[in-house]
Amino acid sequence: MELFITILVLLALIGVSNVINREIPFVPVPLIQIALGVVVTFIPLNIHMHLEPELFFLLFIAPLLYNDGKHTPRGELWRLRAPILILAVGLVFATVFLIGYAIHWMIPSIPLPVAFGLAAILSPTDAVAVSALAGRIRLPKSLMHLLEGEALMNDASGLVAFKFAVAAAVTGVFSLPKAGASFLIIAIGGLVVGAVLASLITGLRILLRRSGLEDETMHMLIHILTPFALFLAAEELGLSGILAAVAGGVMHAVERDKSQKAKPRTNEVSDNTWSVILYLLNGLVFVILGLQIPSVFSTVLGSPDFNNGEVLGYALAIFIMLIVLRFLWTFAFSRVGTVFGRSKSNEKISFKILAMTSLSGVRGAVTLAGAFSIPLIIDNGDPFPERTLVIFLATVVILLSLLTASILLPLLASNDGKKNEEERLEKERLGQIKMMSAAIEAVHHATNEDNEVESAAVLADYNRWMKHIQPNENRYGSLRMSKNEPKFRIEAVEIEREETRRLLANKEISKEHAVLFLDSLEQLEMILSSRTHLLLIILKSLAKRFKGVFFKDISRLSDAQSRSDREAMRQIKLRTSSVVIETMGRLHSGSKEKEVMEVINHYHFINDKLSESYLSLQGNKEGDDEVKRDLHWVAIQAERDEVQALYERGMITRDIANELRRIIRDREASILEQE
């Protein structure tokens, strides 16, 4: 039960972290999750989780790197193979020897083999952290692909170097030729095992399909188990399980490309399932990292054996040395045209790109898990030298790398104002196209013999809106409002609400129809409202529902409205819209705010759409209103899902994602009023 409660709390923290990130978007989600992990250790819930390195690599790192292997562009990986190897292998071993010697010189109490081990475990950049930062930092594509490729490969080189350094510290024996040969065997062997086993698993799935076993759940289960099987098989053979998982992901991507059109349903189920799994695993990695920090810090900072200022200074110095070495390494190779995939050696790489490459070397969970795998004692029975200090230094460097990248990279990644704005508008336009294409595809999937007419009407709406997609397009092309218009639309909703109450008081409409219409206004207001206003509306709505449960003073219509009910709603909307036009025209007479006129024009448009002449002209071309409305909500949800997917893949920034969600909200509000 205790473990179950711990897991529930950790999962809840992941959800809370994303809510907090919506309020403070300038703080990356990983840092929020680490902070929540730290905070929960001080709450008397007995929440604790001991970090088992082997289990951690299997449960978290293997599936995450498998997924990264699936989605990293193979063409870019091949094009950047030289710079990736220079960073993932060359820089790792340069870090081990140069930073290792520097650590031993700076902290003599740390023996040289242990210093090499600390440098080795600090050398891998974290693919999970890099991916998390990519969602909010607009890095150049070539740099992003380089960092992803480096993060996929350098885990193996760093962990192998760490393994030999720790072995030397434990046994007192080290052989450089043996270590080099072992590294090649472990790395290449891991890649081969991963590729071969992934191909065999793919063959098994094809064989099952040809045998008539088309069950999507079973094939999805095979997908989920694949990275764990690859990792365990490679580790059992003494090879790199991490590289086996990466190779398996790449092979899966090859197979997926071939079957993209043949098995769209399977690919859709796979994407949706992996999206949930990755969301949870990514969050758990950083929350668990946060859970370890208090004990690590208290062990060192609370001990009389250490000077707090000195050990923090050591960590800062090591972090600075890592950045400087990374900068000098990339600078040296960029001069000869080997880095960033350049074909001409005389092309100059700017200081800005070099600085971004240096700061992007974010350390993360791999570093901490490796540090925790250091044994407690050596062969002669003595405690492992400075184990606690090594773990502390690794933890502080992780935090410093995340903080520095989060603060400085957005500043460096920003372009010139005009170019930046043009690029943002183009990405927003492409985002609109993608999200509306997703909506059209969702409606196609939902179409059947019973809703063909309504589906055609919804598709016609979206095709019409697609033709008018522009970043600053008027609402009548895309149902898009200007930024200040919702304020006046909410004012109009309040006018409608007052008019409805007046009609009810004068017994011009029935109580049932008034309740139904007021509910629709409440839904519209919730869509249009800012967060603060929305909270008040939700509280008011809950209070009203609470009252209804106990006092039963509100009569409601059945879910399926009759034709007479819909006709009554239409008549109420026509009357309230006319009052809005008259009232807002009077209240804002002489106003120069164009948003007021846009709201008035919008209500004229609604009146035209609901007029008897328009409806008689349309006849039954658009089918049943409720069926059409349901299809519209399917399309709206598909748009929301696509925006989230674009953001998670780093294809749009948070600002663009929020703007696209605003466009969806505006369309939702207009659809709600018209139906």
The whole-number average pLDDT for the span 400-422 is: 72
What is the structure's pLDDT at 473? 47
Say what the pLDDT of residue 382 is: 80
* 8 A C-beta contact, residue 361 and residue 126: no
- Residue 345 or residue 322, greater confidence: 322
Distance CA 159, CA 231 (A): 15
Question: pLDDT-based confidence at 101, cuts 50/70/90?
Answer: very high
User: Is residue 397 very low, low, confident or very high in pLDDT (cuts 50, 70, 90)?
Assistant: very high
Of the candidates 182, 419, 162, 392, the one whose C-alpha atom is nearest the C-alpha of residue 300 is: 392
Asked if the model's pLDDT at residue 245 lies above 60, the reply is yes
The answer to whether 444 and 635 are in contact (CB under 8 A) is no
Mean pLDDT, range 223-247, rounded to an integer: 90
DSSP one-letter code for 374: S
On the question of pLDDT at 321 being above 90, the answer is yes
Task: Decide if pLDDT at 336 tops 70.
Answer: no
Burial label, 439 (beta-carbon count in 10 A; 0-12, 13-18, 19+): buried
Is pLDDT of 493 > 70? Answer: yes
Average pLDDT over residues 32-44: 88
Average pLDDT over every residue of 539-554? 48
Q: What are phi and psi of 560, to 5 degrees?
A: -90, 105
Q: How confident is the model at residue 478 (pLDDT cuts 50, 70, 90)?
A: very low
The more confidently predicted of residues 102 and 49 is 102
Give the rounded distance of the alpha carbon of 248 from its chain centre. Answer: 23
Amino acid found at 555: S
pLDDT of 236 over the 70 cut: yes
Helices and strands, number each (H, E), in the chain: 30, 0
Banded pLDDT at 128 (limits 50, 70, 90): low
Q: Give me the pLDDT at residue 420, please.
A: 64
Residues 310-336 as b or e (16 or more Cβ within 10 Å = b): ebbebbeebbebbbebbbebbeebbee
Q: Residues 640-657: what's their mean pLDDT?
A: 79
| pLDDT at 534 > cutoff 50 | no
State yes or no: pLDDT of 135 exceeds 60: no
CA distances for 136 relative to 27, 139, 294, 398, 604, angstroms: 9, 9, 28, 19, 41
pLDDT surpassing 80 at residue 138: no
**SS3 of 389, please?**
helix
**pLDDT: which is higher, 130 or 531:** 130
More confident residue, 605 or 638: 638
In sequence order, what are the beta bridge partners of 383? 377
What distance in Å separates the CA atoms of residue 375 and residue 384, rounded to the nearest whole number? 7
**pLDDT over 80 (residue 456):** yes
**How much is the average pLDDT of 2-8?**
83
Task: Say how far apart CA 205 and CA 259 lie, in whole Å.
Answer: 12
% residues pLDDT > 90 (the chain) = 8
* Residue 398, Cβ density class (10 Å: 0-12 exposed, 13-18 middle, ≥19 buried): buried
- Amino acid type, 636: I
CA dist 438 → 434, 468, 627, 633, 640 (Å): 6, 17, 19, 13, 9
DSSP for residue 28: -
- pLDDT over 80 (residue 258): no
The mean pLDDT value for 317-330 works out to 90
| 201: nearest Cα among 277, 243, 255 | 255
pLDDT digits (tens, 9 = 90+) for 23-32: 777 777 888 8
Is the pLDDT confidence value at 339 over 60? no
Give the residue, 633 or 156, on which the prediction is more confident: 633
Pick from 231, 199, 85: nearest CA to 149: 85
3-state SS, one letter per residue, for 538-552: HHHHHHHHHHHHHHC
CATH class of domain segment(s) 2-414: mainly alpha
Choice between 357 and 510, residue whose per-residue pLDDT is larger: 510
Looking at residues 64-86, what average pLDDT do you find? 76
Alpha carbon distance 583, 243 (integer Å) = 68
The pLDDT, as a whole number, for residue 260 is 55
User: Bridge partners of 377?
Assistant: 383
What are the residue boundaries of the structural domains of the chain, listed by start?
2-414, 420-542+569-674
Q: What is the mean pLDDT of the chain?
A: 77
For residue 342 the two structure tokens come to 């350049």
First-to-last C-alpha distance (Å) of the chain: 49
145 Cβ neighbours under 8 A, 6+ residues apart: 72, 73, 76, 77, 80
Res. 484 pLDDT band, cuts 50 70 90: low
Cβ contacts of 603 within 8 Å, gap of 6 or more: 492, 577, 580, 581
> What's the pLDDT score for residue 560?
44
The span from the CA of 568 to the CA of 503, in Å, is 12
Please tell me the distance from the alpha carbon of residue 567 to that of residue 37, in angstroms, as a whole number.
55
